[in-house]
Amino acid sequence: MKKFASHYRLVVIGLTALFGLGWWQGAHVHAADDKKPFMVYYRAWRDSAMHMVNTDILDRNPQSMLDLPAGIDIINVFSHVPKGQEVQAQPFFDQLKAKYVPAMHARGAKLVRALDYTSMVNNLKDVHEDTPTDEDVDKYAAKLVDELSDDWDLDGIDIDMETYPTDEEAALSDRIIRAMSKRIGPKAKNGTLFIYDTNGQNLKPFQNVMDCFSFLGYQQYGSGPERTEKMKEHYTAAGYPASQLLTGLTFPEEGDPVNRWYDTNPENFLKSNMHTVANYVQANLGGMFVYAVDRDGRTYEEPDFSHILPTTYRWTKTAILESKGYSLPEIKAAAYRYLDDLKLTRAKVSKQELAGQIKAATNAFEVNSVFLADDHSQALAPTFDAVAEIEQPVVNKAKLTALIQQANTVLAELRDSAARKGLKQAITAATQMVESDTVGQTSVDAAVKRLGQAMLTAQKRQDQVDYQAGYATGKATGQAGKPAAANPAGSAKYQQGYAAGYRAGHALWIAGQHEDQQVQPEQTTPAKPVEKAEEQAEDHAALPGTGERVMSLMLAGLAVIGCSGYGIWRRLKVTARR
């Protein structure tokens, strides 16, 4: 493994997250069995839980292991803690067991810790000056597995080999590795991992124990697929399966005074090692890895060279997609789903324009670049992750699917053509939504509302038609004076309409019967004789209060009453004086 300072050759702490169970045993990985493992080397001193450890850069570490993208299957987390910096490093190790390991396990991951090859051999030699016995080796191997893996609830060990051992050292390492393989790796058959990674093609420390390892990781930093092909030929000729070979590239480390690896090429993605090697891996090898994943998108120029900045993992996410063989259509579908749910708060482009960019993309990098950028602050949506969208879609279509079934039941009961047509169109649209792999939860939720409203509208339309039909039938029956049907055939609304119509019709029938009874034949009044009429006129004129005499008679009467009253009043007054 590339480390530009000598202390990186000390015992290194590694954490490996692995989706699925033992690929070498043909177990299920992610969504499909043919998805290849992807490994990253994660530098623990750049985790947000650690500050000012193994560095003189004052910047705070902005991201944690939990920010790593989906689709990563093996995570080696290096952590060299210089003497005197243990206190600063402790928060990370607390997080490692309490938070990171459970989180990786929750993803279906396995975890391993790294062991430096030279330290592994020398530590045993230091304890046993003479050749250690088999019992000594077994106890030593068991202690390594316990301290590096089991005590941390991890799932295996990675041996980092970057040296040229002597024959004696290689013979001793063979014994140690075989003793360890009883506890971890494919020979143990317990689902654990045992990994061997190297930057060379020295077969001496590997050829006798290759059957003990789950994978071999080959560091080919700064090189293209031509070197990958030579590595493959070398190790397969020695008898190691190509399906267990992982080849790796790197990102620029901050402050590195020596190495200059250019595996990314923002100006021409198609010519970058990240693209060409990932494509080679997809067709020819077991998998791929990248070193210093937290430096994804950085360069050897300032401010990158002297500062710690957040990453969107644009290159890593692309390499995962390409090395695992995800197709461009499914990557685009994932992007469309993500866009559908994305809330644009500060974007200067519309969703229609972004959808056009996705449609025009010709490779995974261009799709990712719609949302991601090497400059985290310039990324439209830094958390976009096509693998997460593909493998763990958050779009829940269960409610819409159930509603479609209900709508079809309602449709079967509809008789009105207009009601049927409207609901059928809504069902068709909803079904297309369920079958689409480009829609997000926002569109699905909206489709649920639309279909529900269409069902209500169709049922309301059918109820109106049924009521009107029942009303017309009931009214006609009632108006004809016929008895109401005891249980008219039809829906509940039809029966309600029938009852209301019958009452109205029956009322009209009763009113009609009453009018018939009130109407009588018209009679002619005979003319009175002239003499009788004149006689009646004279009698009428003689009656008091009638004719022209009425006023004079009234005045005379009032005069008589007045005089009589005055006389009575005078007599009463005289009597009172006496």
Mapped to the 3 state alphabet, what secondary structure does 152-208 carry? HCCCEEEEEECCCCCHHHHHHHHHHHHHHCCCCCCCCCCCCEEEEEECCCCCCCCCC
Domain count, the chain: 3
Burial of residue 523, with CB atoms counted within 10 A of its CB: 0-12 exposed, 13-18 middle, 19 or more buried: exposed
End-to-end alpha carbon distance in the chain: 157
Total residue count of the chain as it appears in this document: 578
pLDDT for 235 equals 98
pLDDT for 523 equals 52
* Chain segment 333-355, per-residue pLDDT in tens: 999 999 999 988 767 889 999 99
pLDDT for 2 equals 44
Last residue of a domain, one of 276, 293, 325: 325
Tell me: do 370 and 281 sit in the same domain: no
Sign, CA dihedral 270-275-281-282, equals negative
534 domain residue, yes or no: no
Reported pTM: 0.73
Last residue of a domain, one of 376, 394, 412: 394
Distance CA 428, CA 541 (A): 97
565 domain residue, yes or no: no
- Which portions of the chain are predicted below pLDDT 70? 1-34, 346, 518-578
Tell me: do 316 and 249 sit in the same domain: yes
Distance CA 291, CA 102 (A): 23
Residue pair 478/503 in contact by the 8 Å Cβ criterion: yes
Which residues participate in catalysis according to the annotation?
162
Tell me: do 127 and 261 sit in the same domain: yes
- Print the domain residue range for 130: 6-325
Tell me: do 251 and 186 sit in the same domain: yes
- Residue where the block lists tokens 């390594």: 144
265 domain residue, yes or no: yes
Closest CA to 68 of 18, 121, 135: 18
Tell me: do 76 and 219 sit in the same domain: yes
Distance CA 153, CA 105 (A): 10
What lies within 8 Å, CB to CB, of 558 at 6+ separation is none
Tell me: do 295 and 341 sit in the same domain: no
Tell me: do 104 and 241 sit in the same domain: yes
4 CB-side CA count, 13 A: 16
pLDDT for 114 equals 87
Last residue of a domain, one of 269, 301, 325: 325
pLDDT for 106 equals 79
